[in-house]
Amino acid sequence: MEHLRKEYPNGKVAVDDFNLQVDRGEFIAFIGTSGSGKTTTMRMINRMLDQTSGTIKIDGEDISKMDPVKLRRSIGYVIQNIGLMPHMTIQENIEIVPKLLGWSKEKRNTQAHKMIELAQLPDDMLQRYPGELSGGQQQRIGVVRALAADQDIILLDEPFGALDPITRESLQALVKRLQEDLGKTFIFVTHDMDEALHLATRVVIMSRGKQVQVDTPENILRHPANQFVTNLIGEERLIRAQPNILTVSQIMLDHPASIRPDETLKDAIDRMHDRRVDTLLVVNDQNVLQGFVDLNDINRIADVTTPIKSFTNREVFYVQADSLIGDTVDRILKQGVKNVPVVDSEKRLVGIVTRTALVDIVYDALKGAPESDHQPASPINADIHATATKEGGDSQQ
């Protein structure tokens, strides 16, 4: 695709100076905000739409010079709402394009059986009607139907958008396997970043009709082109992708503000003031984490001589210093807490991970990850320990 542009009759420029060279057997995923021109681009590839300017070539041949009907039959197309004909059996549905191409009845029949096997569905399902199948089964048929005429290029426009996550995962596995086994070229539109990163050999990130970044999933994670891409990827995935930062101990802050169980409310107020924090971690004489106290507790207790141990929150989320970042970061972020205490294998307090530290990693990723000379500690325990089910984590601000 060279300098591809699509301006709709109403003046809307849906695709602007789009350039992409796709090699045979690639799996390209388009991802971007709604209305960024993904569907328009797909529809130009099979000439359901004609571009305003620019060229599309397949094997060096300009498609605007090809017969559009012939072209369309040579390209498989899968859409979100499946598009199976309800009054036709599954077999008839699979045979639509082979029939249009004039294949013999026998060859079509053989192909239908082969396709249902590829879809990993029972052979007798060929005689059923779409309405008798689940949404996931129908979409399996939708996918193999696009392959039935042995097309080299398959376009899939948000094919799994309407499916539940489990069905979606099994369909992703099917698509990935088919693409790899059959060596066909897949161009796939999705709004699910995990899906794009998991399936694609290259990802095309679209915004307002333009390609913002085109690269392998790995490079996009390592070097997002700009803030738009960063936001699209999400901070969690970026942190996971940082190769040099492996364990919690590499990003934790030392000397978190703490207090002992026998100290008093007055001590807590003074320490919070000195350290400018609104939470103190409670540790015993062996520095073992007991819980935390925060400003909310302090406000509801009148007597400043009250010992800390009588109002310690014992339900506290914590992580181990040698936990892998990749295994804990999503859980830290999802807890919605600003800070998480870090302990050693004896549950002794050794540091604190702040949300700010995690966000800093994202900024480093943006600048192009600097080489780190930290050596990773041995990743023994990757578990974040949650002893709380209620608000233990949330109230720890």
Identify the three-state secondary structure at position 92: helix
| Residue 40 binding result from Mg ion, ligand ADP, none, given CB thresholds of 5 to 8 Å by partner type | ligand ADP
Measure the CA–CA gap between 69 and 50, rounded to whole angstroms.
13
Which of ligand ADP, Mg ion, none has residue 326 at its interface (CB below 5 to 8 Å by kind)? none
By CB atoms closer than 10 A (0-12, 13-18, 19+), residue 227 is exposed
* Cβ 32 to ligand ADP shortest distance, Å: 6
CB of 385 to Mg ion, least distance (A): 43
**Hey, is 351 helix, strand or coil?**
strand
Query: Nearest distance from residue 19's CB to Mg ion, in Å?
Result: 20
**103 or 188: CB nearest ligand ADP:** 188
Instruction: Give the residues lining the site for Mg ion (CB under 5 A).
Output: 39
Q: Which is nearer to Mg ion, 39 or 137 (CB)?
A: 39
Decide which of ligand ADP, Mg ion, none touches 8; Cβ closer than 5 to 8 Å per partner kind: ligand ADP
Where b means 16+ CB within 10 Å and e means fewer, 205-216 reads bbbebebbbbbe
Element (H, E) at 157: strand 153-157
Question: Which of Mg ion, ligand ADP, none binds 12 (CB below 5-8 Å, type-dependent)?
Answer: ligand ADP
Distance CA 282, CA 290 (A): 5
Of the listed pieces 27-35, 89-97, 310-318, 357-365, which binds ligand ADP according to CB under 6 A? 27-35
DSSP tag of 153: E
Considering the complex, state which of residue 33 and residue 264 has its C-beta at the smaller distance from ligand ADP: 33
Residue 363's binding partner, choosing from Mg ion, ligand ADP, none, with beta-carbon cut-off 5 to 8 A by kind? none
User: Burial code of 340-364, b = ≥16 C-beta within 10 A, e = fewer?
Assistant: bbbbbeebebbbbbbbebbeebbeb
Q: How far is the CB of 40 from ligand ADP (least distance, A)?
A: 3
The site partner of 37 among Mg ion, ligand ADP, none (C-beta below 5 to 8 Å per kind) is ligand ADP
Query: What is the residue-wise DSSP string for 193-238?
Result: HHHHHHH-SEEEEEETTEEEEEE-HHHHHHS-SSHHHHHHH-HHHH
DSSP-assigned beta bridge partners for residue 307: 264
Nearest residue (CB) to Mg ion, 39 versus 290: 39
Report the SS3 class of residue 288: strand
Distance separating alpha carbons of residues 245 and 362, to the nearest angstrom: 11
Q: Specify the residue, 11 or 131, whose C-beta has the smaller distance to ligand ADP.
A: 11
Residue (49 or 225) nearer to ligand ADP, CB: 49
Give the nearest distance from C-beta 13 to Mg ion in angstroms. Answer: 16
Smallest gap from residue 353 Cβ to ligand ADP (A): 37
Q: Which is nearer to ligand ADP, 7 or 92 (CB)?
A: 7
Stretch that binds ligand ADP, among 8-16, 254-262, 271-279, 309-317 (CB under 6 A): 8-16
Tell me the pairing of strands 202-207 and 27-32. Answer: parallel
Distance CA 391, CA 315 (A): 8
Residues 221-260 binding ligand ADP (CB under 6 A) are: none
Query: Distances from the Cα of 131 to the Cαs of 44, 58, 134, in angstroms?
Result: 31, 37, 8
Q: What are the Cα distances from residue 258, in Å, to 59, 74, 273, 312?
A: 68, 69, 13, 12
23 secondary structure, DSSP code: -
Binding track over 30-59 against ligand ADP, x by CB under 6 A: --x-xxxxxxx-------------------
**Which of residues 10, 227, 286, 299 is near ligand ADP by CB under 6 A?**
10
For ligand ADP, which stretch binds (CB under 6 A), given 4-12, 98-106, 253-261, 351-359?
A: 4-12
Residue 12 in the binding site for ligand ADP (CB under 6 A):
yes
Shortest Å, Cβ 155 to ligand ADP: 12
Which residues are at the interface with ligand ADP (CB under 6 A)? Answer: 8, 10, 12, 14, 32, 34-40
